[in-house]
Homo-oligomer: A and B are copies of this chain.
Amino acid sequence: MAIDLRSEFQAPAVDAAADAARRVIDALVRSGGMTDADMSAIADRLNAVADDLEAAAPPVADRLVDMWRGDGITRHDPVAGPENPIAPPLEYSAVDSRTIEAVTTLGLPYQGPPSCVHGGVSALLLDHTLGVANGWAGVSGMTAELTLRYHRTTPLFEPLTVTARQVSVDGRKIRTTGEITAGGGTCVSAEGLFIAKHPPRPR
C-alpha cells in the first residue's frame, strides 16, 4: 500500500523543477567529454537559473515558516523530499502498521566505491527511513544513536529496497531497525535509538 504522509503546499511545477535539477546533477557527474568552452556555457546557463531563482526567493526566515507549514512529513528533505534535488527521492509504502519500505535505484552522484553506493549515503537513507517508520507507527522523535553494519557492497544502477520497522517504544525511547537489500541480500543494516521529542516548527 503506497502511503503519503507528506504535506502538500507547493505546486507541481516545483517538483518538476527539482526533477529537472536531479537530471542536471546526474548528467554533470556522468559527463566527461565536453570541451572547456561547452562546459563553461553550461555553468553560465546554470548560474543564470540560480540568479533568477535567488531574485524571486523570499527571506530564509519566511521560507522556513512556509516550508514547515502543516503537519506530516515535509516535502523538502534530502531523502524523500520531491522538492529537494539532492533526494533520490524515496517513495514509501506501508508493509504493516509499523513497517515501511521504498524501492529506489541510485546513479553516479551517490557513488562511494566504484559502482557502489557510498556508505554514508546508505546511512542517510536509513536514518531517514527509520524516522519515517516511527512517524508511520505513530510515535516519532529525534535520532539519539544510530549503528550501521555494512554486510556487502550496495550496488548502483540496481533496485534497492530500503525497509524500516519500529521495534519498541519505552517511555520516550523508541527503537527502530532497518536495512537496505539488493537482489534479496542484505547490504546494510541499521539500529536506531530515537527520543520522542521534536524541535518546534517555525511560525
A residues within 8 Å of B by Cβ?
10-14, 16-21, 23-34, 36-40, 42-50, 52-54, 56-58, 60, 62-64, 66-68, 76-79, 83-86, 108-116, 118-121, 123-128, 131, 142-150, 153, 157, 198-202
Are A31 and B57 interface neighbours, CB within 8 A?
A: yes
Are B145 and A147 interface neighbours, CB within 8 A?
A: yes
The A contact surface, by secondary structure, is helix
Are B43 and A13 interface neighbours, CB within 8 A?
A: yes
Chain B nearest CB: distance from A187 CB in Å?
A: 12
Whether A63 contacts B127 in the complex (CB less than 8 A), given A28-B85, A57-B27, A86-B86, comes out as no
A-B contact pairs, 14 of them (CB 8 A): A14-B31, A14-B39, A32-B57, A46-B49, A60-B108, A64-B115, A77-B111, A113-B142, A115-B202, A116-B199, A118-B127, A119-B127, A120-B126, A123-B148
Are A121 and B78 interface neighbours, CB within 8 A?
A: yes
Looking across the interface, which residue of chain B has its beta carbon closest to that of A76?
A: B29
Chain B nearest CB: distance from A108 CB in Å?
A: 7
Cβ–Cβ < 8 Å partners of A198 in chain B: 113
Tell me, in angstroms, the Cα distance from A14 to B43 when the chains sit together. 8
Q: Looking at the complex, which one of B28, B58, B121 makes contact with A83 (CB distance below 8 Å)?
A: B28
Chain B nearest CB: distance from A1 CB in Å?
A: 25
Cβ–Cβ < 8 Å partners of A12 in chain B: 36
Are A13 and B39 interface neighbours, CB within 8 A?
A: yes
Q: Looking at the complex, which one of B53, B143, B145 makes contact with A24 (CB distance below 8 Å)?
A: B53
Looking across the interface, which residue of chain B has its beta carbon closest to that of A50?
A: B23
Looking across the interface, which residue of chain B has its beta carbon closest to that of A55?
A: B27
A sample of 8 more A-B contacts (CB under 8 A), given A14-B28, A20-B46, A114-B200, is A16-B40, A31-B63, A32-B58, A32-B66, A42-B49, A76-B108, A113-B199, A115-B202
